[in-house]
Amino acid sequence: MRDTVRQEIVARQLDEQIAGRYPVGQRLRILDVGMGQGAQALRLARAGHTITGMEADAGLLKAAREALAGEPAGIRERVRLVEGDGRETGVHFLPGSFDVVLCHGVLMYVEEPDPLLAGLARMLAPGGLLSLVVRNADALALRPGLAGDWAGALAAFDTGARADRPGGTVRADRLESLTATLAGIAAPLHAWYGVRVFTDNVPPDQGLPAAVDLERLLAAEDRAGRTEPYRRVAALLHLCGVRG
């Protein structure tokens, strides 16, 4: 459920930003850095856009290739997959090569994100859209607190990282600091949303509810991600910057 909510809510928000910047029917050049298994890349390719997916993890790249192989030929022709790290975009592409750059769920695994972000901004054509999904550092205490883990909640107030899996942690970012970073790389913040306000605490393996209940759940998450003060305590933040 958590992954479904994340992918669907981010997709709605991203589509809203694209529709607000580009004419209906325009085929965009989109770079998806850290594309994972390719959920957003394939969705955008089905919408008619030209996609370059970049992924450093060989296993995830294999899964993306297998998913792409199941698509019709017309969609496969619009997708190019590249094995590589997001910090190496300058090696693979010329500056200004893309209308939209996605970097979803990547910064949390990068110790020094500023060089990566600067490189991504350089890939954008003037007026291009940079879409980031990050872990929200201002909401780290919420999950352990709601689960009754008071020690974990207290510790989360004083850290910029959170347990991701046994033995591992991920970084988290604050809206204010990323706003300053985006301004500094000439892709100032244009809009931001919360993602997974209500469903971050569900078990990782929890399945989906019936269709009517799922649609209500998504409607509630969609609205909360746009509404103060709910979006500020979302597990994830979706930030959209625009290249000047």
| Residue pLDDT, tens place only, 166-180 | 446 789 999 999 999
Tell me: pLDDT of 148 over 80: yes
Give CA angle at 190 (185, 193), nearest 5°: 115
Q: What is the mean pLDDT of residues 76-93?
A: 94
Reported as a single tens digit per residue, the pLDDT across 113-136 is 999 999 999 999 999 999 999 999
User: Is the pTM higher than 0.75?
Assistant: yes
User: Please, are residues 46 and 75 in contact by the beta-carbon 8 Å criterion?
Assistant: yes
Tell me: pLDDT of 165 over 60: no
* Residue 162 banded pLDDT, cuts 50, 70, 90: low
Task: List strand residue ranges (DSSP E) for 17-111, in order.
Answer: 29-33, 50-55, 79-83, 98-104
pLDDT at 204: 84
- Could you give the CA distance from residue 47 to residue 203 in angstroms, rounded to a whole number? 32
Bridge-based pairing of strands 168-171 and 161-165 is: antiparallel
Selection from 171, 165, 93, 104 nearest residue 131 by Cα = 104
Tell me: pLDDT of 201 over 80: yes
pLDDT at 190: 98
Reported as a single tens digit per residue, the pLDDT across 15-67 is 999 999 999 999 999 999 999 999 999 999 999 999 999 999 999 999 999 99
Query: Over the chain, what is the mean pLDDT?
Result: 94
Tell me: pLDDT of 158 over 90: no
